[in-house]
Structures are given as C-alpha cells and as structure tokens.
Amino acid sequence: MKLYNIKENDEQVSFGQAVKQGLGRNQGLFFPSELPKFDDVDALLDKDFVSRSSDILSAFIGDELSPETVRSMVENAFQFPAPVEKVTDQISALELFHGPTLAFKDFGGRFMAQSLAAVSDSGKVTILTATSGDTGAAVAHAFYGMENINVVILYPKGKISPLQEKLFCTLGGNIHTVAINGTFDDCQAMVKNAFDDAELRAAIGLNSANSINISRLMAQICYYFEAASQLTKAQRENLVVAVPSGNFGNLTAGLLAKAIGLPIKRFIAATNVNDTVPRYLQTGEWTPEPTIPTLSNAMDVSQPNNWPRIEELCQRQGWGLNELGAGAVTDEQTAETLKAMFDGGYLCEPHGAIAYRVLDEQLQDGEHGLFLCTAHPAKFKESVDEILGQDIPLPGPLAKHAAMELLSVEQDADFAQLREYLMKVAG
Ligand SMILES: *Cc1c(COP(=O)(O)O)cnc(C)c1O
C-alpha cells in the first residue's frame, strides 16, 4: 500500500510508515494513492463481518501484510457486533457502541493497535497520550494485554468523570495511568516534552497513536458495509446515511466505503452548533468560530482535522461538495429529538439524536435512512437521564469497571518526574 501526504505530495510512505508516523511533513495527512474497487458488492455483503472486513482491509494494505495476518488483526479488533436496529419504517440505526468502551472509537482504536503491533520492528513500543476523557479509554482497552507495548496515559486529576476514570484506570498490566495535578493542557504539554526528548524517545520507543492515523479510518470503512449487509436490497438501493460529525473521521470512512463500491446514494453531515462544515457547504466560506460546549461534547470541534481528506477524496472521485447534505442542531433541538425518539421506542443519546434529526428532516420519499449511533446512551447518562426523566442502567462493561479499584499513580505537572516514571515502567 502506498500513501501520500496531501499537503506535500512528494512525501510517499508505506502502510507501516503511515501507521507508525501518524502525520506527514508540515502536519499533512496521509491518503491512499490508489483505492481498491469491489465490483461484486453483493458477494461481499453475503460474507460475515470478520471475513468481509478482512477482504476489504487486505485489498487496501496489499502485499505489505499477508491476508492471514490481516484476518487475525481483524479477529482481534472486531470482537463485538455492529447491529442495525429499526427506528421507524423509513429509518434505521447503526449501533456502533457494543465494544469495551461503548463508543465507535473502539473499532478504529483496536484496529490501529493491531496495525501498530503488526508493523513495529521487534523492539519495544511505548504509547504516550494525554486524555480529557474518552480517547484514553479506547486506547487503553485497545492495547491492553499486547506484548512489547506499554501504554502510558496522562489525565488531569479530578477533571474527568469518575466513571470515565474507572473505565481505563483499573486495567493494570501494560496500561499505566497517571493522574496529573494540573490541567489537560499541562498533560498535553508534557506529552510534547517527551516527544521532543530524542534520548527518551529512542529508549522507550515512543509513539503517539493519535486520532488522525489512517488505520483508524480504514477500520471504520468496514462497518458501513456491515450496515448495508443487514438491510434489505430495496433499502440499500436508495440509501441515505447521516453521520454525527466532529473531526469528520467517520464521514471520511463512509465516503471511502462509497468510493470502493458500496452503493450509498447520499451522505448527510450532522453537527451540533459547532457548525463550521454545514456553513462552509452553504456559503463556501471556511470560518471556524470559537468552540462552544454542547450536550454532544465529542463533537465540540470547530476545526475538524479530517476535513482535508474529504476534499481530497471528493476531488479525486469527481464528486461535488454540494452533493453532501448537512445540518446543524442546537442543544434544545437535541433534547427534544431524544425525547421524541424515546417516546417512539428508541433510547438514544445526544450524538446519535443529532444525526437522526437531520436525517429525518432531509429524507425524501422512496429513500431509506440510516444514522450512526456513535455512543451508548449510558456513556452520557447524566444528560440522558435528565432529558428523559429516567434512570438508565449501566451496561455490563461500565458496571464491572465501576466496581474495580483505581490503579493510577499521582504526579505533579513536572516533566522530570514523568521522565523518570517512563524510564521505570517502559525503559
Ligand atoms: C468522536 C465522536 C464523534 C465524532 O466523530 P468524528 O469521526 O470525529 O466526526 C461522534 N460521536 C461520539 C460519541 C464520538 O465519541
């Protein structure tokens, strides 16, 4: 597999390099030079999730990893289903929250962990990351128990929810969590210090596992096919997919699925009031505003970092950006929609509800709508309970971790102290 840097086209890398490096020169994103093309999509849809996903990912990766290797990576990464549920006669939900951290990021995070392990030379690897909540959990669970890989996660003590903390600070083994007496920015600054320290970097095999890694997007392509496989042929023929979007990785993966052959008539990008993209699609002006906190806080992003990949793909496919549907939803409308959905018999959470609302508004006669449910309702229990006047139960994984002991160590926001710790656990 060959990829190029979309900012500096002369920088070309293999899959292995792209996975290890994350970003290219000048902060440029990597993009595949060639896309595979599946002509017999019906045959692909007849396969089971793991077999089909292995075929898709192998077609991307090419001869860099054997099909058997890719299959075992997929088996390890995709150990939970992505079911489609009926919400109304015309609209279905793709539930992406049945993984260990109850959000769709488990798919990308786990495949990235498998990819990194598969392409790393025999030496040790240390993943160092700072989290303000959710990414930490997905990264911790994705790498948990993997040989030769240590994970160190920094988070601001007392500034993430107790439940979030329990979800990733109770694992132990190769997962090391550090509660920093400081802010999220302090944590990020120390991660940066570590990457700037060449001696440390070499000693512990430092790597970042960040969110723009191409392996994540490749994994996410697979669940669009999985959704289509669960719909009827008639539903598939006029399929419109709505994606709740923040950094726009999910939508990029959907468009890639279409580019390699999945027949999707139209995509709709749904955002909260952080609506840089819907405004851009309407006016042609890219004018990010300061980020506003909302109920759907995983989408509180006003400078979406995957957007350049969408423009690149559309340009290469000859698709006009005006073919993309879009809409933005306020918190008030989100709550109202969540309630209406619940009254109609479907329990959702703010991110999914936003996608449902915009889909419902824009769907036309004869079309079938699918929206992505990116998180389990219990992950946003406080707001969901308040809006619905319910006390929704914690699902198994959350309840299990909630009862376990915290294993974090506590440190001041002091790089010298962190460096010593890193050398001790990973050196
Ligand atoms: C990350 C996240 C999103 C946004 O996904 P992008 O790929 O960044 O657009 C939406 N919902 C939830 C629950 C998330 O965690």
Which residue has tokens 């040989």?
Answer: 147
Six token digits for residue 154: 């920094």
Give the position, in ligand 1's atom list, of the atom nearest the Cα of 245: 9
- Four-CA torsion 304, 308, 309, 313, nearest 10 degrees: 130
What are the backbone dihedrals phi and psi of residue 92, each rounded to the nearest 5 degrees, phi first?
Answer: -120, 155
Q: Where are the alpha helices (DSSP H) in 38-104?
A: 41-46, 49-61, 67-77
User: Which ligand 1 atom lies nearest to the CA of residue 253?
Assistant: 7
Q: Which two tokens stand for residue 317?
A: 């496919």
What pLDDT shows up at residue 80?
97
CA of 97 to the centre of ligand 1 (A): 11
Cα gap 165→162, rounded to integer Å: 5
Phi and psi at residue 150, in whole multiples of 5°?
Answer: -105, 140
Distance 202 CA to ligand 1 centre (A): 33
- Residue 232 DSSP label: -
DSSP class of 27: G
Q: Which mutation among 104, 112, 379 tests ligand 1's pocket best, with the greatest number of atoms within 8 A of CB?
A: 104
Nearest in space to 225 (alpha carbons), one of 38, 353, 355, 34: 38
Residue 151 pairs in a beta bridge with 127, 175
pLDDT value of position 211: 73
Q: Which atom of ligand 1 is nearest to the CA of 248?
A: 9
Q: Rounded to an integer, what distance in angstroms lies between the CA atom of residue 342 and that of residue 336?
A: 10
| Residue 211 Cα: closest atom of ligand 1 | 8
Q: Is 324 close to ligand 1, i.e. is its CB under 6 Å away?
A: no
Is residue 277 lining ligand 1, measured as CB closer than 6 Å? no
CA of 249 to the centre of ligand 1 (A): 8
Q: Please tell me the predicted confidence (pLDDT) of residue 427.
A: 83
Looking up tokens 């132990």 gives 172
CA 220 to ligand 1: nearest atom: 7
SS3 127: strand
Interval 174-224: pLDDT, tens: 999 999 999 888 898 899 899 889 999 889 988 877 778 999 999 999 999
Ligand 1 geometric centre to CA of 205 (Å): 29
Q: What pTM does this model have?
A: 0.93
**Which stretch of DSSP H or E encloses residue 113?**
helix 105-119
Gap between the Cα atoms of 390 and 279, Å rounded: 35
User: 286: CA distance to ligand 1 center in Å?
Assistant: 21
Residues 6 or more apart whose Cβ sits within 8 Å of residue 132: 155, 156, 159, 160, 184
- Name the H helices within 249-380: 249-259, 276-283, 307-317, 331-343, 350-362
156 lines ligand 1 (CB under 6 A): no
State phi, psi for 389 to the nearest 5 degrees. Answer: 65, 40
List the domain boundaries for the chain.
Answer: 80-427
Write out the chain's pLDDT in tens, 427 residues: 999 999 999 999 999 999 988 888 888 999 999 999 999 999 999 999 999 999 999 999 999 999 999 999 999 999 999 999 999 999 999 999 999 999 999 999 999 999 999 998 767 889 999 887 677 888 999 999 998 899 999 999 988 888 889 999 999 999 999 999 998 888 988 998 998 899 998 899 888 777 789 999 999 999 999 999 999 999 999 999 999 999 999 999 999 999 999 999 999 999 999 999 999 999 999 999 988 989 998 898 898 989 999 999 999 999 999 999 999 999 999 999 999 999 999 999 999 999 999 999 999 999 999 999 999 999 888 899 999 999 999 888 888 998 999 999 999 999 999 999 999 999 8
Residue nearest to atom 8 of ligand 1 (CA): 247
Please give the DSSP secondary-structure letter assigned to residue 103. Answer: B
Topology of the domain covering 80-427:
Rossmann fold (3.40.50)
Q: At CA 172, angle to CA 168 and CA 176, rounded to 5?
A: 70
Please give the C-alpha separations between residue 335 and each of 269, 321, 341, 351, in angstroms, as whole numbers. Answer: 19, 30, 10, 11
- Residue 245's nearest CA partner among 340, 346, 358 is 358
| CA 99 to centroid of chain Cα atoms | 12
